[in-house]
Amino acid sequence: MKRPLLDVVAEVLVAQPGASLAEVAEAAGISRTTLHKHYATREELVRAVGVRVTDIWEQAVERVAKEPGTEAGLRQLLAAMIESGPQLTFLWRNPALDADEELTRRYIDVERRCLAVLDRARSRGLLAASATNWWLLQTMYSLVYTAAEAIEAGKLAPLDAPDLVLSTLLHGLGGPIAGAAGDGTPGEADAATATAATTSSPTAS
Amino acid sequence: MKRPLLDVVAEVLVAQPGASLAEVAEAAGISRTTLHKHYATREELVRAVGVRVTDIWEQAVERVAKEPGTEAGLRQLLAAMIESGPQLTFLWRNPALDADEELTRRYIDVERRCLAVLDRARSRGLLAASATNWWLLQTMYSLVYTAAEAIEAGKLAPLDAPDLVLSTLLHGLGGPIAGAAGDGTPGEADAATATAATTSSPTAS
DNA sequence: ATAGTTCTGAACATGACTGTTCCGTCCGGT
DNA sequence: ACCGGACGGAACAGTCATGTTCAGAACTAT
């Protein structure tokens, strides 16, 4: 019942980065005055959430950092990222946090760990040697973000997401001519690219 | 010298959606009072920009809507989207605009046109039959968005972007085992996946 | 029970943004 | 020279979020 304050605060701010302190306090079940006693200013609070989110992100990557560069290893990495997807966007969309030295240092460090897994996969021929590390990361981030958002919107089953993202990342959405592995049997497809949402309902956001 | 007011306003608001009306007015070279005379409330202004952005997006798609579902056709679609990338994010990130009936109607309509091109490509076997329309669109959007942001950050040459996105969308970033087309010769690679940025410099956002 | 900590509610000051009003100015057309 | 419309500058009221203060309630440990 007595969830740590930072937990609730982070949850609220991640969901609504523009929430007022009054809303945050109310969601946490404390008065605004008390909230101010824990975090003197909004900046301080945002930073605390940033640190916590980085913690989560760090642990998630740590958990899979030792995975070999196999397809299963990649899948685990993606699953971990998707799981903490909403939290990550909090980091990405907070220019204020870029000013924090320690935070960006840690962020870069975690990113390095990610790249290590990716490099391992690349050395096994699982990833294209021609793909830039930078573009690889960006693509991964954007797919993960999209998947996380889709899950939140109820358009994608959490269990399907990692496979879908992995398949898309590795093979793209190209047809069987270019997309399927070398062997023949073009009838079986990827088995993960489908099974998304029933309705298409293409709305903004 | 006498650029239409809406042009400047849109430019500012697209770049900084949170800009105050004073900032917008100053950027437009007019007084805040005058700005209010053109657009009574901020909501009205945002909507006007939304309409204009939709116009641009509509024209861009219209320009390539008749392209056949070939790889070149897809490339044109992607190029058009990347070009108006920043403007699109203005639509995506403005929940207030979702309330506007006409706007969402037009948006869905444009999206349908996009899907038409994609469907044509799919029927030619260029896109996987198993890929959901929905996930296809999402993936395209996210790659386009990422590329547009990268261009703005100077990390990606505008001319390279469409090919890079197209290649990633069709074949993914998987290794030559799964990524290259059916023929052998694993040495030649995709010729588009590389040539991005020199430094990796993995910073947030 | 008592002392000390923690939380609360209310109030206040401040600053930013928005929307509005009023009046003077500038400029083009007649 | 005159008129009408558009623009500018200044001021004002209203709203909202933030940060601060303070007196009192609630709770805890001894």
Asked if B34 CB < 7 A from strand D, the reply is yes
**Top-level class of domain A51-171:** mainly alpha
**Contacts with B132 from chain A: Cβ below 8 Å:** 193-194, 196-197, 200
- Do B73 and B117 form a contact (C-beta atoms < 8 A)? yes
Nearest nucleotide by C1' position to the B38 CA atom: D6
Task: Write down the pLDDT at residue B177.
Answer: 57
Distance of CA A46 to the CA centre of its chain: 19
Phi first, then psi, for residue B127 (nearest 5°) are: -115, 150
Q: Verify if strand D has an atom below 7 Å from the CB of A203.
A: no
Residues of chain B with CATH 1.10.357.10: 46-171
**Residue B18's pLDDT is what?**
95
Alpha-carbon distance B123 to nearest alpha carbon in chain A (angstroms): 9
| Angle between helical axes of B71-83 and B133-152 (0-180°, round to 10) | 50
Residues 27-46 of chain A with CB under 7 A from strand D are 32-33, 36, 40-43
Distance of A26 CA from D24 C1′ (whole Å): 21
Which residue type, as a one-letter code, is found at position B162? P
CB A192 within 8 A of CB B130: no
DSSP SS3 for A127? strand
Tokens representing residue A117 in the block: 């897994």
Model pLDDT, residue B156: 97
Which residues does chain B have with pLDDT short of 50? Answer: 179-205
Rounded CA separation B66/B190 (Å): 27
Q: How many CB pairs under 8 A join A and B?
A: 200
Architecture of domain A1-40: Orthogonal Bundle (1.10)
The tens-digit pLDDT sequence of chain A (205 residues) is 568 899 999 999 999 999 999 999 999 999 999 999 999 999 999 999 999 999 999 999 999 988 888 999 999 999 999 999 999 999 999 999 999 999 999 999 999 999 999 999 999 999 999 999 999 999 999 999 999 999 999 999 999 999 999 999 999 998 875 544 444 444 444 444 444 444 434 444 3
pLDDT at residue A8 in the model = 95
Output the six-digit token pair for B21.
Answer: 């009306």
Q: What pLDDT sits at residue A196?
A: 42
**What is d(CA A43, CA A107) in angstroms, rounded to the nearest whole number?**
19
Span(s) in chain A for CATH 1.10.10? 1-40
Both tokens of B116, joined, read 């038409």
- Tell me the shortest Cα–Cα distance from B1 to chain A, in angstroms: 33
What is the pLDDT, as a whole number, of residue A3?
84
Which residue of chain A has the CA closest to B100? Answer: A204
Give the per-residue pLDDT at B1.
Answer: 55
Of B131, B135, B173, the CB nearest to A170: B173
**What residues does CATH 1.10.357.10 cover in chain A?**
51-171
**CATH H-level superfamily of B46-171:** Tetracycline Repressor, domain 2 (1.10.357.10)
Query: How far is it, in rounded angstroms, from Cα A44 to Cα B182?
Result: 55
CA distance A149 to chain B (A): 10
